[in-house]
Amino acid sequence: MSLRHALLALLTARPMTGYELAKQFDASVTYLWHAPHSQIYPELRRLESEGLVTATVVPRGMKAVKRNYSLTEAGQEELVRWVNEVQELPQTRDAAYMKATYFEFGSYDNALRQFEAHFNYYADQKRFWESHVQDLANKRTALIQTRLANASPDEHDAIVAYKVHAYRGLVDRARAEMRWAREGIALVKELMKHHEQLPESPAGSPRP
């Protein structure tokens, strides 16, 4: 249950409506812990019913309303409890690597395509994460600024440094994935070369 804690953490910066929270999510946390708005709204209601946040109903336009959520003391305590709890790390579940172990059931071209898609995906992620690291290090996002404004100055270093460390870790991870994909492509090309040298055509296992 990281979603609720991500929401609580966002609310430490300032009170926000569900919509604003969803936007902040999409701008930062989503790259660490993805959640669509359809998950956020009900979770906020649950947090409210558990007393971890309070909502004040604000009119919007003539008829409609929005709910402005803020953190309660119980919410802050729950956040601290969660931060101090050492969680079990989740067991690996990686569809891309799993599929890669079975590339023999597809063509060489397919393996190349898969590795290329992998590379491109992480190249994109890397770009985002790198720019996010820059934004954080330079305190360039609106959220980090309000967060810092609410904290005592001698904590500022830590607040920024932890976030930078996490997002840098993701940049490294993206780099590793890109390397893995590149090496995968090299491997496939090697296998293709070998295969050309044995002109007998295979007829054993399934291959489309």
Partner DNA sequence: ACAGCCATGTAAGTCGTTACATGATTGC
Partner DNA sequence: GCAATCATGTAACGACTTACATGGCTGT
Q: Are 79 and 31 in contact (CB under 8 A)?
A: no
Q: Are 66 and 18 in contact (CB under 8 A)?
A: yes
Q: Give the DSSP H/E element, type plus range, for residue 65.
A: strand 65-71
Does 95 sit near a second copy (CB under 8 A)? Answer: yes
Does 41 sit near a second copy (CB under 8 A)? Answer: no
14, 15, 32, 45: which one contacts DNA (CB under 7 A)? Answer: 45
CA 161 distance to own-chain centroid: 18
How far the first Cα of the chain sits from its last, in Å, is 42
5, 14, 17, 116: which one contacts DNA (CB under 7 A)? Answer: 17
Does 82 sit near DNA (CB under 7 A)? Answer: no
**Minimum Å distance from CB 37 to a second copy?**
14
Q: Binding to a second copy (CB under 8 A): which residues in 148-177?
A: 150-152, 154-155, 157-159, 161-163, 165-167, 169-170, 172-173, 176
CA 73 distance to own-chain centroid: 27
**Minimum Å distance from CB 60 to a second copy?**
30
Q: Give the separation between CA 202 and CA 37, rounded to whole angstroms.
A: 50
**Which stretch, 18-26, 52-60, 62-70, 113-121, contacts a second copy (CB under 8 A)?**
113-121
Cβ-based neighbours of 51, under 8 Å, separated by 6 or more:
72, 74, 75
Q: Binding to DNA (CB under 7 A): which residues in 148-167?
A: none
Q: What, of DNA, a second copy, none, does residue 62 touch, CB below 5 to 8 Å by kind?
A: DNA
Residue count at the site for DNA (CB under 7 A)?
29
Q: Give the separation between CA 100 and CA 183, rounded to whole angstroms.
A: 12
- Chain residues that interact with DNA, rule: CB under 7 A: 1-3, 17-20, 22-23, 34-39, 41-42, 44-45, 60-64, 66-67, 90-91, 93
